[in-house]
């Protein structure tokens, strides 16, 4: 089994908790295989990609 996260669900939960600055690019990697790798869409044929989730402690201060 491969690790996964329901990012849209996490974003909804964060908004419900009062987090105001969340950016969702709206990009679907499985829908644009010419630009992105998608393990799910390509059924295990993989390339490499990086995603970053972080906090900026200077925002809101």
> Does the pLDDT at position 2 exceed 70?
no
Q: What span, in angstroms and rounded, lies between the C-alpha atoms of 19 and 32?
A: 29
Question: Is position 61 within any domain?
Answer: no
Question: Is position 45 within any domain?
Answer: yes
Q: What span, in angstroms and rounded, lies between the C-alpha atoms of 9 and 35?
A: 24
| Tens of pLDDT, residues 4-46 | 778 889 889 999 999 988 888 888 888 988 888 887 788 877 7
Domain boundaries, position 4: 1-54
Structural domain total, the chain: 1
CA angle at residue 50 from 39 to 56, to 5 degrees?
135
> Does the pLDDT at position 55 exceed 60?
yes
Question: Is position 60 within any domain?
Answer: no
Count Cα neighbours of 6 within 13 Å in the Cβ-side half-sphere.
Answer: 5
């Amino acid at each position: 089994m491969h690790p996964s996260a329901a990012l849209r669900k996490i974003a909804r939960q964060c908004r419900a908790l009062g987090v105001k600055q969340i950016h969702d690019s709206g990009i679907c990697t499985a829908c644009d295989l010419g630009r992105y790798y998608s393990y799910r869409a390509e059924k295990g044929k993989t390339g490499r990609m990086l995603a970053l989730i972080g906090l900026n402690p200077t925002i809101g201060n």
